[in-house]
Amino acid sequence: RSMTTTVSRSEHPSTIDWSRLLPYSFKGTVVHGFGRGGKQLDCPTANLEEATVADLPSGLIQGVYWGTGRVIREDKKEIDELGFVMSIGFNPHFGNEKKTMEVHFLASLDDFYGSRVEGTIRGFMREMPPFESMDALVAQIRKDKEDATRLVERERNNKM
């Protein structure tokens, strides 16, 4: 699905009409990223192919989001729906020049390069500024994972 909502880079998240943008469903193939997630950040991620990133609605500003999704492996074996936290943007702490979508599932998964990921972004968590240190970034990512776990659980409990 494609949307043409435009949000300026300077627009503050609290002024965005998230109900027009979210939930947003996506599908994409997992590709190799920068190799930082699991090694440096204790947060292994599924980096999605450029075509999936290009399909994002323009209104989804750079930031950290939460949602639910699944991995579909080449053998078509599906993993149950899991919660995730994801970054969308240029990862300003590292000065990336290419916009990425990096999904961290809130469960331990084996290597799944080449698999398909299907997910739904449910909410915006925070903007993505550069951090003063790697330790500060790692601490924030740890908090993001805890917050996303609570949000996913709350949503599941509301559906019951």
Which sequence positions are flagged as catalytic? 102
| DSSP letter assigned to residue 130 | -
Q: What is the amino acid identity at position 102?
A: E
75-79 LR contacts (CB < 8 Å, sep 24+): 79/109
Determine what percent of the chain falls in helix, strand and coil, rounding each to the nearest 5.
Answer: 25, 30, 45
Q: 50 and 150 in contact (C-beta within 8 Å)?
A: no
| DSSP letter assigned to residue 103 | E
Q: 128 and 92 in contact (C-beta within 8 Å)?
A: yes
The residue to which tokens 């698999």 are assigned: 115
CA distance 67 to 43: 16
| DSSP letter assigned to residue 98 | S
